[in-house]
Each structure stands twice: as C-alpha cells, then as structure tokens.
Structure 1
Amino acid sequence: MENEKSREVWLRGPLPEIPLLLQPAAHALLQSKEEVFKYTEGFNEALLWEKPAGRANVAFHLQHITGVLDRMLTYAECKSLAEIQFEYLRKEGVENRDVKIANLKKAFAEKVEEALLIFKNTSEAALTEKRTVGRKKLPSSVIGLYFHAAEHSQRHIGQMLVTISVLENKNW
C-alpha cells in the first residue's frame, strides 16, 4: 500500500476546516512547504547567495515566497503594507551572510500555518469581496489574492529546485 505522505498534498484528501473553495490554495501552500524542506535538505549553505547564470539565488526564492504570502494576506484583509513589510521587500535577495537557511525555511513554514488559520476563518461568501493590490490599487479579490500567493509559491519552488540542482549538480 502506498504511503499517504508520498502522495502530493492535493491527493491526500480535504483539509479539515478549510472552506471547499480554498482547498486548492491550502494544498498548494502545504505542498510548497514540504518541498522547501525536501529540496533544501543537506543544501550547502555556502551556496545560499550564489546566482547561477545571474539568476535569483536560493535565499531570494525563500525570502520572496514568504514575503509574497505575507503581502497577499495583508491585502486580503483590506490593509495597506506596513513599513516593516516594505523593508522586508527591499531586502529580498540582498546578500546577508548572517541569514541562515534554517531561519528562512522556518519563516516560510510559519507563514503557511498563518495562512491556513486565516483560510479556516474565511467564509466562502467573503472570497469574492473586492480587494486592491499595492499603491496603484490594482483590482483583485480575496480569493484572487489567496490563489496568487499559492501559485506564486509553487512557481518559485520550481525555480529554486532548478537553482539548487545547478549549484549542486544534482539530478532530481
């Protein structure tokens, strides 16, 4: 019999207390969380800030998925970004050898858990409420913001995997 943990998150069944319409976003975020830990297991921290072919480094991807998730959750609450969020955004990918991969992974895992708690407390009726994004107040909705956070994290996990593979010459 196949181990349930070996299946992708979306094939493990519904997540308790998560509204039906948010199940795909929750599954994608949990998949991202698992893959962050899987793909960075044993990663050589000395390579964290390396940019193969001038592309984004592993640190950027880890910082960025956490930052985007945080920003999308803020917009979904109909709030503007705080200065601390702008400061975080400015530092995404900026080399800082004091930053450790364990801390980046922990920060993302915690932000995913925060998102799931928010999802649990979001009514399906609220999902179509209009929201705006950024200083330009671009149009979106609660569900649009949640789904963007989820798919965006998946995209960066894929890019991070390729970066790690190139840096460590791994064949996944």
Structure 2
Amino acid sequence: MQKDQRPEVWLRGPLSDIPALLQPAAHAILQAEEEITALATEFPNELLWEKPAGVASVGFHLQHLAGVLDRLFTYAREEQLSDNQLNYLRNEGKEPFPGCTLQDLLDYFRSQIRQALNQFRRTDEYTLTQVRYVGRAKIPSTHIGLLFHAAEHTQRHLGQLLVTARILQAGSKNPDF
C-alpha cells in the first residue's frame, strides 16, 4: 500500500462549512475514507468475506461502517430507523449480491460519508448538547455524543478492517502464514 504524502486530514485545516465543534468528527470520517481507498487499490475481492481466526471480514467492516453512519446520523436527526435500515443491519456480514466487490462496498460507504458531511454542515451548534434518543429503548445521548460516536466507531472499525486485510493479504502471499 503506497503511503499518501499529505498530512493526515486533521492536519490540513478546517473543512469549509463544517461547524467548528464538528471538525474533529468530520476529519476522522474523512481519514477513514482515505485509508480504505488506499487499501482498495490492492486488496483482492476473493478475500472480501474471509474471516481469519473467526474475526469479522473486511466486507463486514465496510458494510458496518456505512450502516453505523446511516443509523447514528438518523438518531442525531431525532428519527427512528426505517425498515430498510433495520434490514441492512440484519444483513451486515452477508454478501449483498453475487459478485459484490470491495469497490461496491466502498462506493456505498462514500455515499454515507457525503450524507454525513452534509448533515454536519446543516447542524446548528446550539443543538449539540440537546438530548437525542437511541434505538427503540430510547436510550438518552446527546446530539454531539451521537456525531462523535459515529466518528469514533468509524475509526475503531477502520483499524480492525486494516488489520484483517493485512493478515489476509499476508496469508494469500504465504499460505504457511
């Protein structure tokens, strides 16, 4: 994987039209996009659903990254999940259609990132400490808590995805690995 010579996203300055308090979350999500995009140039599709040592597959992580952004940003808008969102959640980890590629999953993740950035842009900073409810149980959080958790969760799964991909790639090059 070739290293990007630019500084990490958070070191490139503020993102236009994103409220100041949401800059770190937007930076973290965009950093994840860049790192997965770099991986996509060399990761073989035939390994997408492999689970080395029983851990989650690269395909699962990409589906989950997109799904979590969608779900948490829905709660941040004070909405409940739709039947389509619940169905997507139930099917994370399953190949969504025959021949699904890493690029297909990355394209959907990118579409969720664009929606998240647009929601950041429309967010009134004065609402960030307001209560928002999560799930059918209506567990209380805050607006900023949901948006921050979306970014933190994205980074957590990015790390797991990258380690899983590295293990799979090393194993495919060295079957005795």
What TM-score do you get using the length of structure 2 for normalisation?
0.91
Identify the residue that residue 143 of structure 2 maps to in structure 1. Answer: 142
Identify the residue that residue 174 of structure 2 maps to in structure 1. Answer: none
Letter of the 2:157 partner, please give it: H
- SS of alignment partner, residue 6 of structure 1: coil
Letter of the 1:76 partner, please give it: A
Deviation digits for residues 46-74 of structure 1, max 9, x if unmatched? 00000000000000000000000000010
Shift of 1:36: 1.1
Distance in structure 2 (CA, Å) of the matches to 1:35 and 1:10? 13
Identify the residue that residue 157 of structure 1 maps to in structure 2. Answer: 158
Deviation digits for residues 20-63 of structure 1, max 9, x if unmatched? 00000000011011111112222110000000000000000000
Identify the residue that residue 44 of structure 2 maps to in structure 1. Answer: 44
Gaps of 5+ in 2: 172-177
Letter of the 1:28 partner, please give it: A
Identify the residue that residue 129 of structure 1 maps to in structure 2. Answer: 130
Deviation digits for residues 72-91 of structure 1, max 9, x if unmatched? 01001111100000000011
- SS of alignment partner, residue 43 of structure 2: coil
Identify the residue that residue 81 of structure 1 maps to in structure 2. Answer: 81
Distance in structure 2 (CA, Å) of the matches to 1:102 and 1:95? 13
Aligned length: 167
Identify the residue that residue 175 of structure 2 maps to in structure 1. Answer: none
Gaps of 5+ in 1: none
Identify the residue that residue 102 of structure 1 maps to in structure 2. Answer: 103
- SS of alignment partner, residue 30 of structure 2: helix
How large is the Cα RMSD of the aligned pairs?
1.4
CA contact (8 A) 2:40 2:103 kept: no
Instruction: Please state if 1:22 is matched with 2:22.
Output: yes
Distance in structure 2 (CA, Å) of the matches to 1:35 and 1:61? 13
Deviation digits for residues 134-172 of structure 1, max 9, x if unmatched? 1111111111111111010111110011001000118xx
Letter of the 1:99 partner, please give it: C
Deviation digits for residues 107-145 of structure 1, max 9, x if unmatched? 111111111111111111011110011111111111111
Of 132-141 and 97-106, deviating more is 97-106
Runs of 4+, deviation exceeding 4 Å: none
CA contact (8 A) 2:51 2:57 kept: yes
Instruction: Please state if 1:58 is matched with 2:58.
Output: yes
Shift of 1:15: 0.6
Distance in structure 1 (CA, Å) of the matches to 2:54 and 2:17? 43
